Amino acid sequence: MNPLSAVRLPVTPDMMRGVTPDIARPTIPVYELGKLSPGAAAQPAGGVAPTFEGTLGRMVAEVNESQTAASQAVAGLMSGQSVPLHQAVLAMEEASVSFQLMVEVRNKLLESYQELMRMQV
């Protein structure tokens, strides 16, 4: 059963005649969107929009942090600290996947640059 099919509107006499009710859709304020995913919400009129360079720099920094966390988890596991094996493996996999994503983004950017350079002006 689809979870959304369980949600039903009360049937009114207008609906029986084929007239659909005018249901106002709730809007989510911008400040609430910012709580969900920082940086994903629209920037305020006086704010500074994120730059391409800043976005790439933040991505590289996050990959570096995940690599560092994985290294620390493995070092803790090898030195006999109380690091669970599954936590170390998860940290290594997360670091690996984030690094692979960064490499693929780099490859796409390089392809795009090469395509632009091949264009005739």
pLDDT digits (tens, 9 = 90+) for 8-51: 445 556 655 665 555 555 666 767 666 765 555 455 555 678 89
State the average pLDDT for the chain: 79
Residue 64 has pLDDT above 80, yes or no: yes
22: exposed, middle or buried (C-beta count within 10 Å: 0-12, 13-18, 19+)?
exposed
Q: Does the global pTM surpass 0.95?
A: no
- At position 36, the amino acid (one-letter code) is L
Rounded to an integer, the average pLDDT of 89-111 is 95
Q: Which of 35-44, 69-78, 93-102, 112-121 has the lowest mean pLDDT?
A: 35-44
Domain boundaries, the chain: 51-121
Token pair belonging to 82: 């109380």
Cα–Cα distance measured from residue 41 to residue 69, given in angstroms and rounded to the nearest whole number: 28
CB-based contacts of 74, cutoff 8 Å, min separation 6: 88, 91, 92
* pLDDT at residue number 50: 85
